[in-house]
Every structure is written in structure tokens, then in C-alpha cells.
Structure 1
């Protein structure tokens, strides 16, 4: 098999560049947590306006994921990454210089559109150039970059707040005084412009997706890229021929392809696991972790510290997942991880309901919380973008990923809005029992309906759905 001579260093470089979109995604999503109190005070926000400030980027993400597939098919994966980098850059600068609350909302929506676009295109680009035996590891770099972006936002918020309370008061320039001392939230939101501009520049160094090139009749260019990946002219020709053989009847991107029974089934499965994954608690934990910790009796300062520990566990576990996803397999990781999630979600629920009566210490809840994050990060968080990027036919991969991505972002928005209500009305214990229950249909769908894609070429996976 020619894959044994693969230029992994080159593919790794291309994957890391594309995964930088995930870092911007993670940073732009998490940075909001350090600015809510400041924005609320400065603009005298009520609870509805505060919720709109937090949720407006998710609305932008829904818009971005809805058009991301079309842009990826129409202009190519690389050019669409350029578009997302421009959106991130504009959003960062606009947030930093916004003159009122409405302008800040517009800026956040622009950044949200970039998040939605990159959440589709980055993992898809990596999947389309990766070789089968390393594809899970390489696509997982995107999720790793997202978790690093989350952690990066927490660290930047912490450092800038300390700077604002200390040395920043000595800055002489009026504009710098405003950004880093008087209204430090501007600096927190604006810092993301630095990696966004770097992302824009470095995209010039990567080629277009070779599979997109083949689908658009540019096989010679695709062959030259595959030659650099495989190190052999014959292997490159064979790869192009394999793509052409599978997609010969699907030269044009067409909504009608979704009507094919196998393809339609794949799209429905992808959408189902995308939205179900959001109701298993992961984003509720990431967004409302401090609130949940405080409701367990942990003080506010400690709750923020524990949230940083949650972020660290998330990153370190994702690093582990990157190295084992191709060895253990997608489905086995889901079975192991989701089983663990159910156990620890139930234990957290038990703590909230009966912990005081049984004399359980808060350390018990913290350990269960971190164990849950570990199980989640090593399974559904690592696997979801890998599966969505590889389970659809070449001709409609971008379109199908947009549908699944739209499902995921709708779920994210809903859980962001519903979690406070659930915590109040079901109690924290009841909320965690609900999250545990939602894990069951997820595991059943993966068990019964999702094929094991580990080690298979994208064309082999496509044949599975079509035949």
C-alpha cells in the first residue's frame, strides 16, 4: 500500500494550519466569560440584554455554518478558510473599537459567522488530505486547538485583568489607557486579532484540498498535491483515479444527492449525534461550570480556579485522544467514554441530591466533575468532528457537514439558553440525571447505525453509504 511512504510531516503542517481555525473558534467562544461582568456594568444590561450579548455569537455561528458548506463547495476549502480568517480579524478589531453596545453585538455576530464557517471547513479540509491510518489523529488536532483556544482565553483574561489593575494605569497613550485599563474587555476581545491575522497569512502556504480539485475537474493540480503527500507519481495517480471512480456520477454538487437512501441516512445520523452530543452536558459544564461549582457550596474564587482545572483536563485529555483515536477506533472510544460519562453524571446528581445527608465532601463532586470531563474529551468531543468530516460522499461533504453542523450549533444555542432554567427548575441534581439519560440514545445510534471508519479511505466509507 502506497500509504506507507506518506509524507506525514507535510500533512501534519497542513493540518496544524487548518486547525488554527479551531483555536480562534475556542478563543472567541470562551473569551466572553471574562467580559460579561464588565459589559453588564458599563452598559447597564438587564438579564435579557446580558443573554443577548452572550448568545449573539451563537446566532452568527448558526448563520456561518448554514452558508459554510456552500462557500466551501463554491470557492474551495482554502479560500473559505481565508474568508473565516477575515471575519475573525474584523470582529476582533470591531469589538475593540466599538462605540456602543449595538456595535459590540454586530462585531460579535461577525465573529460568530467566522466560528460557524471554520467549524465546518477546517476539519473537512484536514480529512480530505489525510491518509486513512492517520486521519483520526490529524482531524483531532482541530478539537485539540479548540480546547487550547478555550484555555488561552481564560489565561489572557486573567493576565489582562491583573495588568489592568496594576501597571496599565501608568500607560500614557489615551487609547491604550482605554483598552488595557479603563475598559479592559476591549483588550480581551481584541487580542484575538493577532492569531486571526497570523492565520490569514499562513493560509497562503497551504494548497487547496485535492479532493475538491478532482471534483472540479482539476485533476492535474490534485495529482501534484497527492504526489507531495505520497512521494510517488504512481501513488498520486492511483489516488486521483480512486476518487474519480467513486465520484464519476457525482461531478456536480446537487441537493438531489441527499435524496439517495444511503446518503440521506448518513446525513440524519450525523445530525442526530451532533445535536444529542450537546444535551449530554459538555457545553453546560464549560459555560456554567463556576455557577454549578458555587451551587455545590464551593466559594466563588475557588469555583473560578476549579474551572481552570477543568480547562486543563480538557486539553490534556484531548492530547491523549489525538494519539489513540486511530489505534482504538472511533466507536470503541465512544463506548468507553460515554459509559464513563453516564456513571459520573449520575454520581454528580447523587451528590447534589444526597451529598449533604451522606456527608460527601465537595472534593467528591470535583473528582466526579473532572472524571466526567475526561470521559467526554476522550470520546464524543474528540470523535464528533472526525466522524462528520469523513462519513459523507465527496460530492456533498460540505453540504452534508453544514446540515450536521447546523444541528450541532442549534443544540449548543439551546443548551446555553436552557441550562440556567434546568438548574433552577430541575435542580442541579435533576439536570445531571437528565444529561446522563441523554447519553443512552447517543450510544445506541453509534452502536447500531454508525459504521467504524477507522483505517478506511473516504472513498471506501462513501461506498458503504451508497451500496
Structure 2
């Protein structure tokens, strides 16, 4: 393993990257994130209608929401192989087609079984998009703007969630309960077709990842994209770095397969843990069941759906703020601030539910939680798992980490309504118990990050492995903190700005 220090880094001037081009192609990839957010959150407005229409028990309600997550697990698990075999762009095209078919089928479902099947297909699409979109964005973004580019994924996810909260409210605003139960939920689910079609068309305007081209031996195609991103000199130096990182895998296997294998397993473990801990903070229980949670303190279904919009607004606001500071302050400070704020928000919301305080106290706690989650754990999880894996294991590593995220999402989403609607627990805690558990897991998540996650700001993808495999104490003593990108437009010797 090669160790590097700040004193080994020399900065020289270079032409600027075509930031507009990078942001445009990342924005197309981020449309997968919009559908990710839209598809997973659209169920929130339809939960009570589905329960009445199909006569579902609390366990079946949990299944109606969480079955899609099993599809997510399958999609994420297979996404790495698909992306490495066929490319990032074709794999995203497959997910777009699955999104479209799922939205149409679920909206027209006549039985609970067919509804579950179509939602499962949508889950496969979400699993693929949640893995490949951030992977693609990390591979086309220069290192000093990688954080901002990947924040587009989180912004897209929460933007999709906010959009569907607004759509659900507009559909339900003047509707009767009978209409919502029989027809309204179909309009909510079917509304996803519009962003699906946009995504299907936009994919044709994005290039393939240059790192995938190198993996397939198509250096000429990689050079075309890299040159379009910046300039020919920069493109050649980056191409050399990518090829060297792949050749290093062969050398490492020849010199010490066991050491290399342990290192790869450790990085995958860390990525999977971060992905699972994100779900244990309880965010998707807020997203999927917010109207159900707020129903007891808001007065009506319409009021609960309207208040849910503000949860989406808080999440988007946090993502916007985070995108502005991530490449200035780094990943770890945002994790610290976010974890503390999320715990405070959860405690406020849980107290309002426990005491059955009418008004906006519960909503206020949820808003604080979602604002800080949108600033920290929401986007930073996707940023980290998109950038910590070496090129040689990125497809497999992303698949495992994202699958772990969806497995934990499924467990939490299935158990939450069983706890929230348990008569004995509800009589004792009024829905506050899950919030207390989430606060405890958020504290655990903060400890794990402090203990095992290095700062990755300003580190090239080809250099991250050495940072990940050096314990924090040794890394600090060796001066291996990542380089801070210069403010005056300087670049390193590799030509990366």
C-alpha cells in the first residue's frame, strides 16, 4: 500500500474544466435520483387509501410499503454486474424503462397481488438507479467538485420526494375520502409516468463513463469524454491514472493477494455499514409514514398531507445548504453537525407524540430532523459510497453497499407500522417509541463515522484506497490528510483542478 502526504503534492496551473458540461451530464444521471425519490415516497399519500381499498392489516400495510424495497435489494445487487458488463448508460436506460412500466401497472392494479408485483418492479428500477447514478456522477466529476456533483443525487432524491408530496396533496386537497380510496391513489401512483418519460429521453444525451471505457479497453472513447470535460493534457494524465490504478490491482495480487483481499473487504464493510446506518436513523419512516404519524396531531388527512410537504421542503433546503459547503468544509464536519441536529429533532417530535401535543410541535421536530438529514446523512452516504471504492471493485462495492442500504430500509419500513400501530405500544408511547430508537441509532451512527471514516475531500478516486486503508491515528501522524483544493484555480501535477 502506497502512503502519501501533503508534502508530496505540488500544485501547478492548468486550464479550467468545463464545469457546465459536467453539471449537465450529472443532472441527467440525477434524474434517476428524482425517480428514486418519487417512487419511494409516492406511497406515503396512498397508504390509508390502500389500507381501506384492499382491507389491509398493519402487517400487510408494512408489506405494501416495504415490498418495493425487496426489489431495490435485487436491483442494487445486480446493478454492479450490469454496469460493468454493459456500461453505466445502458443500465440507467433499463432502470428508466422499469420505472415507466411499474408506474403504469401499479396505478391500474385491480388486486393487491398485482399491485405488489408492479411495485416490486419499480423497486428493481430504484435499486439500479440508486447505485448507478452516483457511480456515474463520481466517475465523470473532477475531484474538487465531486462532492457538489454527488450532492445533485441527494438534491434529486429529495426533490422527487417534495414533488410527489405536492402532487399527492393537490390530488387529495378537495377530494372526498371515498374518491381517494377508490380512484385518488391511482392518480398518485400514475403521476410518476411523466418524470419517467423525461428520464427515458434524456439518457440519450449523456456520454458513457470514461472509466468504464478504460475497463473495457476503449481508451479512445475514454479520451473523447475526458477531453470534453476539460482539455487534452488533463485528459491524458487522468487516463494514465485510471490505467495505473487498474494495473496496480494485478501487481497487488501478484505480490500479496491476502493483504489486498483484506483491504478490499474492509472498504466494502465500511461502505455497507455507512449505508445501513443511514436507514437506522429512521429517515424513510418519516418519508413513507409521515401522514400516518401526523394524522393523530394534525386533525385530518388533508392537513397531514399538507404538513408533509414542509418535510420535503426541509429536506431540499438541507441538501441545497450542504451542496454549498461540502467541498469547502469537507464530509466529516457535516456528519457531526447533522447527527447532533437529527437527534434533537427526533427528541422534539417524539415528545410531541408521546404527550399528544396538538399543533405543530411534532412537525417542528420532523422539520429539524429532515433539514439536518438533508444536510448530512442523506447526501453524504451516497457521496461516500460513490467515492471510497477503488476502480477495480467499484461496481461490486457499490452493489453491496446499496443493497445493504435497501435491506435495512426494508427491515425498518416493515417493522415501523407494526410498532406504530401496535395497540399496546401505542397506548404506552403514542407512536414515540420508534423515534427514541432512531435517536439512539443516530448516536451510534455518529460514533461509527468518528471512529472509522476518513475525510475524503479533495482526494482523487485513484488515491482514496490508501487513505481508506490507513487507520486514523497513523494517517494523522503521517500527514495524510487530503489536500484542500486551492482557492485560486491551482491544480495538482495530475492536471486535476
TM-score by length of 1: 0.88
CA distance in 2 between partners of 1:97 and 1:3 (Å): 56
3-state DSSP class of the match of 2:345? helix
Query: Hey, what does 1:464 align to over in structure 2?
Result: 467
CA distance in 2 between partners of 1:3 and 1:20 (Å): 32
Instruction: Assess if the C-alpha contact under 8 Å between 1:60 and 1:112 holds in 2.
Output: yes
3-state DSSP class of the match of 1:260? helix
The question of 1:124 aligning with 2:135 is answered: yes
3-state DSSP class of the match of 1:25? helix
CA distance in 1 between partners of 2:261 and 2:414 (Å): 35
| 395-404 or 1-10, which deviates more | 1-10
User: Structure 1 residues 305 and 66, CA, compared in 2 at 3 Å: closer, same or farther?
Assistant: same
Pairwise mapping of residues 46-61 of structure 1 onto structure 2 (< 5 A)? 46-61=57-72
1:164 positional shift? 6.8
The question of 1:33 aligning with 2:44 is answered: yes
1:257 positional shift? 9.3
Query: Hey, what does 1:439 align to over in structure 2?
Result: 442
Instruction: Assess if the C-alpha contact under 8 Å between 2:79 and 2:131 holds in 1.
Output: yes
Query: Hey, what does 2:98 align to over in structure 1?
Result: 87
Query: Hey, what does 1:159 align to over in structure 2?
Result: 170
1:4 positional shift? 5.1
User: Structure 1 residues 395 and 145, CA, compared in 2 at 3 Å: closer, same or farther?
Assistant: same
Instruction: Assess if the C-alpha contact under 8 Å between 1:123 and 1:389 holds in 2.
Output: yes
The question of 1:78 aligning with 2:89 is answered: yes
CA distance in 2 between partners of 1:7 and 1:388 (Å): 25
1:261 positional shift? 2.1
Pairwise mapping of residues 14-413 of structure 1 onto structure 2 (< 5 A)? 14-161=25-172, 183-230=183-230, 232-250=231-249, 260-295=261-296, 297-300=297-300, 301-352=302-353, 362-413=359-410
User: Structure 1 residues 340 and 218, CA, compared in 2 at 3 Å: closer, same or farther?
Assistant: same
Instruction: Assess if the C-alpha contact under 8 Å between 2:71 and 2:127 holds in 1.
Output: yes
Aligned length: 446
1:21 positional shift? 0.3
| 132-141 or 339-348, which deviates more | 339-348
Unaligned runs of 5+ in 1: 166-177
CA distance in 1 between partners of 2:336 and 2:311 (Å): 22
CA distance in 1 between partners of 2:250 and 2:145 (Å): 27
3-state DSSP class of the match of 1:5? coil
1:103 positional shift? 2.3
TM-score by length of 2: 0.83
1:96 positional shift? 3.5
User: Structure 1 residues 288 and 187, CA, compared in 2 at 3 Å: closer, same or farther?
Assistant: closer
Instruction: Assess if the C-alpha contact under 8 Å between 2:318 and 2:373 holds in 1.
Output: no
3-state DSSP class of the match of 1:144? helix
CA distance in 2 between partners of 1:104 and 1:459 (Å): 44
CA distance in 1 between partners of 2:33 and 2:236 (Å): 32
Q: If each structure's helix is expressed as a fraction of its own residues, which one has the higher value?
A: 1
Query: Hey, what does 1:448 align to over in structure 2?
Result: 451
Cα RMSD (Å): 2.6
Instruction: Assess if the C-alpha contact under 8 Å between 1:21 and 1:118 holds in 2.
Output: yes
CA distance in 2 between partners of 1:257 and 1:225 (Å): 36
Instruction: Assess if the C-alpha contact under 8 Å between 2:28 and 2:203 holds in 1.
Output: yes
User: Structure 1 residues 345 and 159, CA, compared in 2 at 3 Å: closer, same or farther?
Assistant: closer
Query: Hey, what does 2:493 align to over in structure 1?
Result: none
Unaligned runs of 5+ in 2: 1-11, 471-497
User: Structure 1 residues 2 and 28, CA, compared in 2 at 3 Å: closer, same or farther?
Assistant: farther
Instruction: Assess if the C-alpha contact under 8 Å between 2:49 and 2:181 holds in 1.
Output: no
1:188 positional shift? 2.2
User: Structure 1 residues 14 and 273, CA, compared in 2 at 3 Å: closer, same or farther?
Assistant: same
Deviations 1:369-416 (CA, angstroms, capped at 9, x unpaired): 321221111010121100000000111111111111111111111111
